[in-house]
Amino acid sequence: MLLALTALFAVGTTMVEESTSVGEFQTDSTEADKLEYVQENFSASENTTTVQLVVQDDDVLDRETLQETLAFQAELRANETVNATLVDEEPAAGVANVVATAAIQQERAGELQAHSQRLNATADALEAALDRVRAGEASPEAAFAAAREEAPVELTDAHAETFTQAARQLQAVDDEAGVEEAYQLGTQGVLADEYDALAAEQRALAGGIDPSLAEQREALSRMSDEEIENVVSTVLGPENPQLLAFMPDSYEPGKSSANATAFVVTQATGGNPVTPDAAPQAIIDSQFAIQEIAEDRSGEYVVYGNGISAHEFEASMNDSLAVIGPLALLFVLVVLMVAYRDPLDVGLGLFGIVAVLIWTFGFMGLAGIDFGQLFIAVPVLLIGLSIDYAIHVFMRGREARSGTDWSVERATVAGLAGVGFALVLVTVTTAAGFLSNLVSPMPPVQEFGLVNAAGIVSTLFVFGLLVPALKIEIDSFLEARGFDRRKEAFGTSDRLAPLMRTGERLARAAPVVVLVVVLLVSAGGAYGATQVDTSFSTEQFIAEDPPGWTETLPDSMEPEEYTVAGTLDYLDATFVRQDMQTHVLVEGDPTDPDTLARVHEGEETTANAPTTRTLVNGEAAYQGPVATMHRVAAENQSFNATLAAADTDGDGVPDRNVADVYDALFAADAEAAADVVHRTDDGEYAALRIVSFAAGDVTRGEVTEDMQAVAASIDGDGVTATATGQQTVLYHLVSEEIFDTVIQSLVVTLLAVGLFLVVATRITAGSATLGVVTTLPVVLALSWILGTMWLLGMNFNSITGMITSLTIGLGVAYSIHVSQRYRQQLDRDGSMWDALRTTVTGTGGALLGSAATTAGGFGVLTFSFMPALQQFGFITAMSIVYAFLASVLVLPTLLVLWTRFFGPDVGDAGAADAAAHGGTAETVDDD
């Protein structure tokens, strides 16, 4: 039946799907809802993602590099994979585009100025012609003909008709008003269409232009080096903060040279979400195409986009599994060979491990749980626990058969009878430890706990029933044909026994010293535990460059080159990170002058916040409604007049006709307005926002605190203000939830495990205090591991946050094995020291093999390419070592003290003491 279940679960393994999104750690919150509102209603950025590229050269602002940048953009559009994802309007924006556009604008302004001068000269010629008509020196026809000859603007017959009409009118009137009207008609009236067209072109030029990429490249080719330098100095002046965001921190505003500059490529996502850890395949393919094009160009480029990041997330997980899997298998094989010293038992152990993994992953598939990054630890954990169960089952069977003529079946059953209850206790307490994660609000953490609990229960069935049954059949078959299947239990040999008796010797010689030292160390660990911080960011899951030794791996195992981690470090240190945005969403009545005044105060607070990035011109990297109004007003005279008329007290903030100001702002610069003001489809104004960019050397918690203070200063009196942001506020909230999860799971696990052990030992041993004693080493090991995390500067994140439940789960398993074995031996031997000696050499030896294997298995995670998994592997391995040391060094002292004060009435002397004094004694193992 168990084999049939294994086959059923094997079908379930085919249903497991992979997920790499760390966004799953986010829970429902007001901040998440408001971020969705921002993404849907502000600017034209909805359903788009950006690629940030950095051009590097000795001088990226000279003609050659600017032309190279535009040529690179042209190649992006020519690439089918990339072009299919580009937005229709302004797919690329950077300094090269602005310089070329400014040059075209200046050129067109000059052309319009020259045309205006030609029109004015023509009007002067027509006026002179009218003077001749009025003086009677020429007929209207002759005067116009003469003017046509000297006028710089071509005059047509239509112009002649208007001029003749004006001339006749001039001849017929003698009053000043009539004369002025005739002259107006004969000059401005003749050229009315031309003047109207000129005015329209001037208005269009003032409103901004959007030249094609070809026009931009052509404009740069026409300019001299001096002209380019002048334009660069102008557009990168301190009065243009938005463009300065494309320049590195080392750039001095107004200079015509720099060693790096950034530009942004905007892509359409088709409505699919794009985050640093998950992106549609089309976005991933296009961003890698951009990267490949950049590598083939003559210039040097740094490329970052969420598509590249999402690919590296998934690739690093697969590459890590490809390396970790074989290493874990090799390590397990070595340890099993050392512990079992028997190929058949090793084979049975490996079969059991595979069966446990099949059951667990089959459960995942049938339950519809995806395999995410957190679950990389699951197979390693279950392999370690499987070996733990296997070693105890096999070694107890070997101990039971040692020195007897028992059959394989009788010895195996006796071994299971001795260790079975302990395995059940271990299963219940360890599963409870992981099930405590169900109190977490984060779905991946809940699923992690549930899957591990299912795997632990599977381990009990596989190694408590299936593997022993197979061992009985195989060993009985072989012994019936003359093969001896008797083996020595690990830890009972003469070479290892003295080492395993260290805990017994400490309990004999200096129990008080042991307690004092343990309490002092644990107190230090407890203090460190209170100092461990929490953090959450995608960077924790981004792979770093693989170490050099990976180059020696076979091609099938060699990881790819990872660039995102280094790129983000460079961008953080040098440029404004486009994705490190925090929004303060203001909802209420945006047209209320009081609301706008409070938003303006919030803008000033944002500008002065230490967490807001400072641009190279000394201004803060932020945008807001009032700041946008001032910027647009500086470039548009019409809007400037509207803004000034609405500002009656001269403080720079409109205090009347606010809706009219918004209307004028959208008319003057719709894109800038839409970035900070939400206008509905029916023209109503619904919300405002302040958006800031975080400095590169601040924490997400600091950013969140500052922006929540900004929101609080605006909130109230019918206005709701909320601070939000994917990479800042929401990630900080996740870190807080992680901390809450750690505390909640810790409390729930300790209470559940402690209460269960107290009840279990009260029923089985008649002493509830034994349950308390069994739990104490777990608490001690927990304080040690948290103190170690503090000393090493490790934070709780979405993965290391699992360490408390894992330490309790594994630690209690070791404690249970020791205390249960000690209680059994105490009943059998009637001697405290004999029972302790048998426990630390027999069960302690099994625990040594189990701990070495499990710690080594988790230690293999340090070979992962993701920092979070590296930390998790190391700290988990240490927690296992601490749990083992607490069980075999500290728990013996506690058991001795329990026996003396709360345990059964037994003697201290026994075989161990007799042998120590030269006597003899016989210990009978009557399983």
What is the SS3 assignment for 636? coil
CB atoms within 10 A of CB 644: 13
**Mean pLDDT, the chain, integer:** 85
Per the DSSP assignment, residues forming a β-bridge with 722 are: 585
Candidate from 43-52, 272-281, 662-671, 716-725 with smallest mean pLDDT: 43-52
pLDDT at 922 over 60: no
Taking a C-beta distance cutoff of 8 angstroms, is the pair 713, 602 a contact? yes
- Which residue do the tokens 């409103």 mark? 207
Indicate the residue type of 75.
E
Which residues 6+ apart lie within 8 Å of 334 measured at CB?
Answer: none
pLDDT at residue 647, as a whole number: 92
pLDDT at 255 over 80: yes
SS (H, E, C) 504-525: HHHHHHCHHHHHHHHHHHHHHH
Q: Are strands 48-56 and 260-268 parallel, antiparallel or unpaired?
A: antiparallel
pLDDT at residue 623, as a whole number: 92
What is the SS3 assignment for 798? coil
pLDDT at residue 583, as a whole number: 94
- Segment 170-177 mean pLDDT: 88
How does DSSP classify residue 274?
-
Domains of the chain, CATH where assigned: 48-90+210-268+277-322+535-575 (no CATH), 106-206 (no CATH), 341-489 (1.20.1640.10), 501-531+765-914 (1.20.1640.10), 580-730 (no CATH)
More confident residue, 387 or 451: 451
Which residues 6+ apart lie within 8 Å of 845 measured at CB?
Answer: 395, 489, 490, 491, 492, 496, 497, 500
What is the SS3 assignment for 691? strand
What is the SS3 assignment for 82? helix
Alpha-carbon distance of 214 to 687, in angstroms, equals 39
Residue-wise DSSP of 735-769:
HHHHHHHHHHHHHHHHHHHHHHHHHHHHHHTS-HH
pLDDT at residue 132, as a whole number: 93
Alpha-carbon distance of 739 to 758, in angstroms, equals 28
Q: Are strands 48-56 and 300-305 parallel, antiparallel or unpaired?
A: antiparallel
Alpha-carbon distance of 359 to 8, in angstroms, equals 8
Residue range 153-171, pLDDT digits in tens: 999 999 999 999 999 998 8
- Which residue do the tokens 């040529």 mark? 71
Q: Where are the beta strands (DSSP E) in 284-334?
A: 300-305
Candidate from 558-567, 611-620, 845-854 with smallest mean pLDDT: 845-854
Which residues 6+ apart lie within 8 Å of 493 measured at CB?
Answer: none
pLDDT at 26 over 90: no
More confident residue, 738 or 229: 229
Q: Global pTM?
A: 0.73
Q: Where are the beta strands (DSSP E) in 85-218?
A: 92-94
Alpha-carbon distance of 732 to 783, in angstroms, equals 25
pLDDT at residue 844, as a whole number: 83
What is the SS3 assignment for 669? coil
Residue range 36-61, pLDDT digits in tens: 898 888 865 567 889 999 999 999 99
Q: How far is CA 729 from CA 414, 702, 723, in A?
A: 58, 10, 7
Residue range 353-396, pLDDT digits in tens: 899 999 999 999 998 888 876 787 788 778 878 887 888 788 77
Q: How confident is the model at residue 192 (pLDDT cuts 50, 70, 90)?
A: very high
Give the tokens for residue 12: 């379930």
Q: Are strands 720-724 and 581-587 parallel, antiparallel or unpaired?
A: antiparallel
Residue range 141-155, pLDDT digits in tens: 999 999 999 999 999
Which residues 6+ apart lie within 8 Å of 359 measured at CB?
Answer: 5, 6, 9, 454, 455, 458, 461, 462
Kindly state the percentage of the chain with pLDDT values over 90. Answer: 37
Q: Which of 708, 702, 700 is nearest to 580 (CA)?
A: 700
Taking a C-beta distance cutoff of 8 angstroms, is the pair 692, 622 a contact? yes
pLDDT at 834 over 80: yes
Q: How confident is the model at residue 908 (pLDDT cuts 50, 70, 90)?
A: low
Angle at 630 between CA 627 and CA 633, to 5 degrees: 150
Residue-wise DSSP of 481-505:
TT-----PPTT-STTTHHHHTHHHH
Phi/psi of residue 508, each to 5°?
-75, -50
